[in-house]
Amino acid sequence: MMTISEGYVHELAEKGLRLDKRKFDEFRDVEIETNVIKSAEGSAQVKLGNTIVIAGIKMSVGEPFEDKPDEGVLMVGAELTPIADPDFEPGPPDIRSIEFARVVDRTVRESKMIDVKALKINEEAVWIVNVDLHVMNFDGNLIDAGNLAAVAALATAKMPKYENGKVNYDEKSGALPITAMPISVTTVKINGKLLIDPTKEEENAADARLTVSIKNDGNICSLQKGGTEGFTVEELDKMLLIAAEKQENLRAALK
């Protein structure tokens, strides 16, 4: 059953309006700051409207996976805590934090942003790259904010030196092997209307969601759908065009 707030968002969408007066295809203001955590190998804070996400990169050396002996390891994790929103609960990751981490992980992984083969040190050792996403304030669209934070942190990260079988975190050996810069654009469907960069209220009222991730060469690297309803072919075409256009704006902010 729809709440009063969700009903109001639906009514506004039918009239071509949004709660914060934006156009349907308009992102909120984006601010990106890198190197915000001095103890991390790389870090970035992204403010997307009132949503704030910090990404931190920590690197270590370990054994490769048995099925991928020639590749390093890339992992993305996320933490949603009550400090960001009263609806978030402390404790083990819930379905929201798991989905958040998986979608950002998939964008980075499928784009092949990191050349994981270049993370191999020798037959027994590879670099393990951990991307930790921390939500400081939540007002919708964690996926796009988290993607920007992860990409900015990875792109500016500095690898520690590995000498004599030990990691020297006090000295750096250079940047990560970056091969692509993926950007995600999330659209929600509300009462038959398509809106990008949804706020918390719009996400709660959304019937369906689609995140399109695009590399800097213009190719789509991943799609992720959410919500209970579907999309028509015409809606999918429109969302792909919107994503292709709007990712350029986010890319400019990232640079």
- pLDDT at residue 91 above 90? no
Mean pLDDT of the chain: 95
Determine the pLDDT at residue 54. Answer: 98
Give the rounded distance of the alpha carbon of 99 from its chain centre.
11
In this prediction, residues 227-237 reach a mean pLDDT of: 95
**130 burial level (CB within 10 Å; 0-12, 13-18, 19+):** middle
Q: 57 — alpha (psi -120 to 50), left (phi > 0) or beta?
A: beta
Determine the pLDDT at residue 157. Answer: 98
Determine the pLDDT at residue 89. Answer: 85
| Helices within 15-141 (DSSP H only) | 95-110
In this prediction, residues 125-140 reach a mean pLDDT of: 97
User: Which helix (DSSP H) or strand (DSSP E) does residue 11 occupy?
Assistant: helix 4-14
Which CATH architecture group holds 18-254? Answer: 2-Layer Sandwich (3.30)
Residue 236: HSE in the Cβ half-sphere, 13 Å Cα cutoff: 8
The answer for residues whose C-beta is within 8 angstroms of residue 144's C-beta and 6 or more apart is 48, 184, 185, 186, 197, 211, 250
pLDDT in tens, 152-195: 999 999 999 998 889 999 999 999 999 999 999 999 999 999 99
Determine the pLDDT at residue 5. Answer: 87
Determine the pLDDT at residue 34. Answer: 97
Backbone φ and ψ of 249, nearest 5°:
-65, -45
Our separate counts of H helices and E strands in the chain read 5, 11
The pLDDT-based confidence of 2 (bands split at 50, 70, 90) is low
Determine the pLDDT at residue 1. Answer: 62
Determine the pLDDT at residue 164. Answer: 86
The pLDDT-based confidence of 239 (bands split at 50, 70, 90) is very high
Say whether 71 sits in a helix, a strand or coil.
coil
User: Which helix (DSSP H) or strand (DSSP E) does residue 48 occupy?
Assistant: strand 42-48
The pLDDT-based confidence of 94 (bands split at 50, 70, 90) is confident
Determine the pLDDT at residue 128. Answer: 98
87, 102, 108, 148 from 98: Cα distances, Å: 15, 6, 15, 18
The answer for residues whose C-beta is within 8 angstroms of residue 39's C-beta and 6 or more apart is none
Determine the pLDDT at residue 33. Answer: 97
The pLDDT-based confidence of 248 (bands split at 50, 70, 90) is very high
> How many residues are listed for the chain in this entry?
255
124, 136, 175 from 68: Cα distances, Å: 12, 35, 23
**How many Cβ atoms are within 10 Å of 171's Cβ, its own excluded?**
11
- pLDDT at residue 78 above 90? yes
Say whether 5 sits in a helix, a strand or coil.
helix
Domain boundaries, given as residue ranges, for the chain: 18-254
For residues 43 and 46, what is the distance between their CA atoms, to the nearest angstrom? 10
In this prediction, residues 128-136 reach a mean pLDDT of: 98
pLDDT in tens, 37-75: 999 999 999 999 999 999 999 999 999 999 999 999 999
